[in-house]
């Protein structure tokens, strides 16, 4: 009995060429056109894999919900639930700022610690312990089949932390996903990370 878990980052919220800003839980914005294309491409990829999707879960913000709903629409499946622990993190004073300003305020070392070790910069609120506990509870559930969880870059990294699966970078690009398998005996295999169809 094997569970397959796909951890998907929502699609683009800024068009190419737009100034990148640090967007988290405090900014509820929809996908832009390229983000909808990414979501549809994900849906088409899942539809082409002959995977028995058991559940689709999503974070509560528009960008995650829309990505999940577009994937589900392609698969003929509704989103099962919008889960608060899949929500974006809170960037505190950096919310909405251009990435250059965030880097100037907290420094490259703080960004590297976040991307490589999930150590949040000062004043960011990520609820790390609660997120890790929620991921572990989810991973411990019984069952077989495949689940799709649509979330944010900030929340997704805690899945790897919860499982003790370090990577050189914990980041997921928009429209990309990671895939894990969990065997009946509890063995976990990270099959891929940051794969973008």
pLDDT digits (tens, 9 = 90+) for 94-120: 999 999 999 999 999 999 999 999 999
Q: For residue 130, which phi and psi values (nearest 5 degrees)?
A: -65, -40
The reported pLDDT for the residue numbered 176 is 98
Angle, alpha carbons 12-130-30 (nearest 5°): 20
How many of the other CB atoms lie within 10 Å of CB of 18?
A: 10
pTM, entire model: 0.95
Please tell me whether residue 61 adopts helix, strand or coil conformation: coil
33-49: average pLDDT: 97
Is the pLDDT reported for residue 1 higher than 80? no
More confident residue, 123 or 18: 123
Mean residue pLDDT of the chain comes to 94
CB of 68 within 8 A of CB of 77?
no
User: 2-195 belongs to which CATH class?
Assistant: alpha beta
CB of 148 within 8 A of CB of 79?
no
How many angstroms separate the CA atoms of 51 and 145, rounded?
8
């Amino acid at each position: 009995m094997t569970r397959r878990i796909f951890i998907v980052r929502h699609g683009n919220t800024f068009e190419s060429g737009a100034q990148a800003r640090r967007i988290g839980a405090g900014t509820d914005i929809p996908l832009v056109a390229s983000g909808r294309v990414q979501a549809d491409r994900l849906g088409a990829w899942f539809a082409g894999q002959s995977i028995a999707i058991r559940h689709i879960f999503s974070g509560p913000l528009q960008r995650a919900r829309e990505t999940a709903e577009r994937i589900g629409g392609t698969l003929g499946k509704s989103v099962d639930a919008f889960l608060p622990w899949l929500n974006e993190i809170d960037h505190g004073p950096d919310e909405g700022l251009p990435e250059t300003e965030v880097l100037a305020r907290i420094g490259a070392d703080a960004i590297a610690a976040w991307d490589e070790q999930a150590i949040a910069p000062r004043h960011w609120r990520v609820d790390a312990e609660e997120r890790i506990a929620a991921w572990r509870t989810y991973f411990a559930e019984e069952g077989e089949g495949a689940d799709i969880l649509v979330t944010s870059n900030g929340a997704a990294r805690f899945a790897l932390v919860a499982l003790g699966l370090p990577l050189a970078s914990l980041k997921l690009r928009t429209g990309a996903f990671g895939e894990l398998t969990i065997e009946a005996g509890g063995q976990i295999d990270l099959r891929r990370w940051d794969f973008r169809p």
